[in-house]
Structure 1
Amino acid sequence: MTLELKLFGFALGGIILSCVLLVLFGQITVRKLRKNPNTKDKLGSEFASGWDIFNVAQALALPKRITQVLARSPIAGLYADRVVLEENTTVFDRALAKILWYLQMASVFAMLLLILFDALGAFE
């Protein structure tokens, strides 16, 4: 088994696990937030069905400083409101959001690096 195949397996495993966590996070946390009248309109814009799950995970996972900058930007309506979300979620919800968000970002970044290295011929 080559190094390229091992790295691909880890990245693919991370993506599959993050897809499972995405469904769980949507069913456990975002579903509850959609039903709450206080948070219903604070989940960010939804470009495609389910996109608000990514918005909520991003808002709960990123450092507060980054979400504060995003909240003050002209395109703040695209992002979920972290302050309102933190008031209406549990510690478990926030931990699940962080695991989901960072696992997804790391897996996608690893796949992109594999594509780049393969295009440069690093695995030949």
Structure 2
Amino acid sequence: MLLPLTCFGSNSSKTRCKLHDTNTEMFGNTGGGYYGNNQNNGGIWRLPLFIAFYIVFLILGAAIFSAIEGPQEMQKVKSLKQMRADFLEEYPCVPDETSKKLISRGTEFIALHSF
């Protein structure tokens, strides 16, 4: 009795064949050989586990980045507020909203043109 056999893959180095009346899968190289059943134990949990690991990795990375860069950012914000207060003290004729726009445009310019 001949059993129907289906083979997949066009790569000559590795083909995958399956007998239709059993759950036996064979993997063969060009040199031949049998690797046994390809049971996918726990395969359904791989993607959710990977996604959970990746989310934890991103959260930990953000926390570490915040811990490293946080003090410098706070110092720069404090320095910028002090510069604004000094500017308004020296030039009281400039309205408050205009000074905010001037400082924000100045910091954008510096950020774009600093190397």
Q: Shorter-normalised TM-score: what interval? A: 0.3 to 0.5
Structure with more of its chain in strand, by fraction = 2
TM-score after normalising by structure 2: 0.33
Q: Which is richer in helix?
A: 1
TM-score (norm 1): 0.31
The structure, 1 or 2, with the larger RCO (C-alpha pairs under 8 Å, 6+ apart) is: 1
